Structure formats: C-alpha cells, structure tokens
C-alpha cells in the first residue's frame, strides 16, 4: 500500500508520496513512488504511483521509450507532448498497455495488478494541471472546487484535506496540510511510512521549484506530528460534553 497526494492551488502544485512497500509484515522496504518523468526548458512532468509495482514500473519504462498512440498511429513521448493533457493520454495508454500485458501472463494466478497514477506538470509557462489516471488508461482532472487528488491509502488523510485545503490556500500552507494528512494516515496505517518525497511547481514557471525528501529524522515533520496530536486532544477537551451523557437513563414503558 502507499499514499500519494496532489494539491493544485492558485499559486501552483504540490505533489507528495510516501516510499513504503511491503509484501507482508516481515518484508517491508523503501521504493521511490514520486518521479520526475520529464524536465527540460519550459517543460516539467511528474508522477506518483500506487498499486502493483510491476505494472507501474512497466508503464513508466514504456513512457521513456515512447508510446504508440491509437488515435495517431505514431510513437509519442513526453518530451514532445504539446500539453499536460496529451501527456496524461500518453501515460494512460502506457499504463493500460502494461496492465493488459501483465494480466495476460498472470491471469491464472492470484496476483493483483491494480495500479493508478497521479500525473501533473506544466508546459510553456501554462498553469499546472493534475490528473488521476486509472489502470484502464482513463483519467480525471483536478478542479478548483476540489483542488486535490489522492491515490493509495487515502481514507485516513482525506478529512484533513477536505477541511483545510481550498484553491486559495498558499503553497507553503498546502505543504503543511499535506504533511498533517500524512501524519494522520501513518498514525492509523502501518503500510504508509517515511520517507516522504515532495515536489512543487509554481504557476507560470514550467520547472521544479522544490524537490525534497523528508526523512525519518526530519525535525519539522516530528514537530507537526506532535503538535497535531496535541491540538486534536485540546480541541476535543474544549468541546462541552453532551448533556445526555450526564443524565441517568429513564425507564421507558
């Protein structure tokens, strides 16, 4: 399991992904799930992956070599994609092809090949765009009314994002809230863990602003973790108890 977030606000884009992989409680390792797929003059494309490692690795390897696109009959690459939307189509096709190829081999085995990707980027100074790509190759785009997308173990961290993220949230604040979302997730699910990889892209600048790894000994992350736990306890203590909790049960006829 994994946890990945993409947050798209007016100031730009924040992408975060954990690095834990496991095949059982006695086989836990670290694997980078946030990758810069393309970075050149006026162009940056990044992706986070969740699900079957064999499928996502195969898909991203196909993207590097070029993907045969059914609508044009041509091999296309991210380096020449005219838009982030076309990049999502290329990566979606690669993910669909990889899943179909592996499904054909393991169809008689009890092997899960579910996979999904968050793909985001900016080309030629245009505003960043963020997509969630499913295993079949179809995708949805992040919109301003709900300016974040998640893949992987998303249920524990989603309430934090729902309450604290909107399109006008500053990018630095989005990073902080994203880390709180990770803290909440890791508190409830051991399948998600540090290190956390982080990327930011500022609107109007088609290049990476920040590429950073938050390690297990990161002071700020531990401060967030402690402060968030203390704040939740203080908030709960400040809320009055329900009146009915202090009243004896009344016998009913």
- Whether this prediction's pTM lies above 0.85 is answered by yes
Domains recognised in the chain with CATH numbers = 3-235 (3.60.20.10)
Digit-coded pLDDT (tens) for 18-39:
998 764 555 567 889 999 999 9
Q: What is the mean pLDDT of residues 214-228?
A: 96
For the chain, give the mean pLDDT.
93
Digit-coded pLDDT (tens) for 161-207:
999 999 999 999 999 999 999 999 999 998 899 999 999 999 999 99
pLDDT of residue 226: 97
pLDDT of residue 26: 57
Rama region for 66: left / alpha / beta (φ>0; ψ in -120 to 50; rest): left
pLDDT of residue 142: 98
Digit-coded pLDDT (tens) for 113-160:
999 999 999 999 999 999 999 999 999 999 999 999 999 999 999 999
Comparing CA positions, the residue from 102, 140, 138 lying closest to residue 130 is: 140
Distance CA 201, CA 181 (A): 20
Digit-coded pLDDT (tens) for 3-21:
999 999 999 999 999 998 7
pLDDT of residue 192: 93
Token digits of residue 153: 């173990």
Digit-coded pLDDT (tens) for 67-119:
999 999 999 999 999 999 999 999 999 999 999 999 988 876 678 899 999 99
pLDDT of residue 190: 86
């Amino acid at each position: 399991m994994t946890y990945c977030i993409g947050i798209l606000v007016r100031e730009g884009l924040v992408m975060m992904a954990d690095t834990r992989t496991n095949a059982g409680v006695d086989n836990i390792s670290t694997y980078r799930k946030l990758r810069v797929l393309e970075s050149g003059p006026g162009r940056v494309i990044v992706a986070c992956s969740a699900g079957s490692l064999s499928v996502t690795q195969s898909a991203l390897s196909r993207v590097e070599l070029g993907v045969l696109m059914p609508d044009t009959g041509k091999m296309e690459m991210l380096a020449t994609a005219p838009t982030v939307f076309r990049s999502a189509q290329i990566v979606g096709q690669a993910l669909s092809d990889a899943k179909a190829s592996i499904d054909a081999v393991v169809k008689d085995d009890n092997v899960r090949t579910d996979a999904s990707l968050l793909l985001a980027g900016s080309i030629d100074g245009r505003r960043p765009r963020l997509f969630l790509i499913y295993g079949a190759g179809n995708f949805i785009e992040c919109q301003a009314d709900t300016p974040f997308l998640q893949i992987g173990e998303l249920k524990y961290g989603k309430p934090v994002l729902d309450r604290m993220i909107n399109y006008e949230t500053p990018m630095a604040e989005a990073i902080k809230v994203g880390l709180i979302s990770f803290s909440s997730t890791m508190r409830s699910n051991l399948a998600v863990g540090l290190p956390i990889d982080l990327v930011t892209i500022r609107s109007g600048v088609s290049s990476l602003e920040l590429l950073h790894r938050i390690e297990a000994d990161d002071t700020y992350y531990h401060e967030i973790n402690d402060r968030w736990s203390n704040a939740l306890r203080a908030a709960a203590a400040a809320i009055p108890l329900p009146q009915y909790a202090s009243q004896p049960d009344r016998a009913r006829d």
